Amino acid sequence: MWAKTEKEKIAGIPSARKKVIYIWEYYKLWIIGIVFVLWFGTFAYHQYTTVLHDYWCYMIFANTYADLGDHSKLWEDYTEYAGFDLNEKAVVFNASSYFDYLKGVTGNSYFEAFVAFADSGTLDGITMGTESLAALGETGRLMDLESEACASIAAKYSDRFVYCDAVREDGETVHAAVGIDISDSRLVTEYEGYAEPCALGIAALSDNVESVELFLDFILTEDDSRLVRSE
């Protein structure tokens, strides 16, 4: 009813100039709000499509209090080892995430962030306690390491695989390899990332499996001469 009345009122204004003045005077806040929403939506979409996915590798180190984040020694050593051009794309190490799927994650903002990163294809890999990672794998958000995409990883590290009963997108439950045991890796012994048995999983939608494989090679090597990867 209100909209019809306003439409009739505007239609009765004699000149286009006066109509514009009337609309601006009474609806300028609405107009400004709509313009802002359109601008912000365009900006957010641009950020999402050009920045959030512009990574060589995006890793989450969950449930650790060690210094494993961006520009830590681990980050610097790995980026040097991998030979990434950081002017082209970024390497992100997120070490500020705390959730345990075994203990429940309802209302846990860190788990919600994990889901957002995983479901958008941003996340590449995640580390946490072995049992916690196996439980997380049941959500279907970790890649099956026996799939074709992980053939190279399986050839080197299948003896370290961690399994769980994971639910696939079609609803079928399968016994799948969802993690690699890294309890004896340099992440633990040198960088002191975890005091408990731990494992690494690859996000199901990751486009950077090779970068995660490089990270595995880096932390599982025992030969210091391999710190700089040969081409």
* CATH 3.40.190 is held by the domain 55-222: yes
pLDDT in tens, 121-164: 999 999 999 999 999 998 889 999 999 999 999 999 999 999 99
- Residue 172's pLDDT is 73
pLDDT in tens, 111-124: 999 999 999 999 99
- Residue 174's pLDDT is 77
> Is the pLDDT at 43 greater than 60, yes or no?
no
- What's the Cα-to-Cα distance from 93 to each of 24, 61, 70, 186, rounded to whole Å? 49, 7, 5, 16
Q: Among 63, 72, 92, 59, which residue's Cα sits nearest to residue 191?
A: 72
pLDDT in tens, 4-22: 565 556 566 676 666 556 6
Give me the residue spans of the domains in the chain.
2-49, 55-222
Whole-number Å distance between alpha carbons of 192 and 93: 15
Whole-number Å distance between alpha carbons of 182 and 127: 9
pLDDT in tens, 88-112: 999 999 999 999 999 998 999 999 9
Asked if 24 and 31 count as a contact pair (C-beta separation under 8 A), the reply is yes
- Kindly state the tokens that stand for 202: 């690859």
> Is the pLDDT at 210 greater than 90, yes or no?
yes
When the pLDDT of each residue in the chain is averaged and rounded to a whole number, the result is 84
Whole-number Å distance between alpha carbons of 66 and 72: 10
- Residue 116's pLDDT is 95
Q: Which residue has the tokens 């209090």?
A: 65
- What's the Cα-to-Cα distance from 78 to each of 146, 198, 226, rounded to whole Å? 25, 19, 11
Query: Beta strands 161-167 and 125-129: pairing type?
Result: unpaired
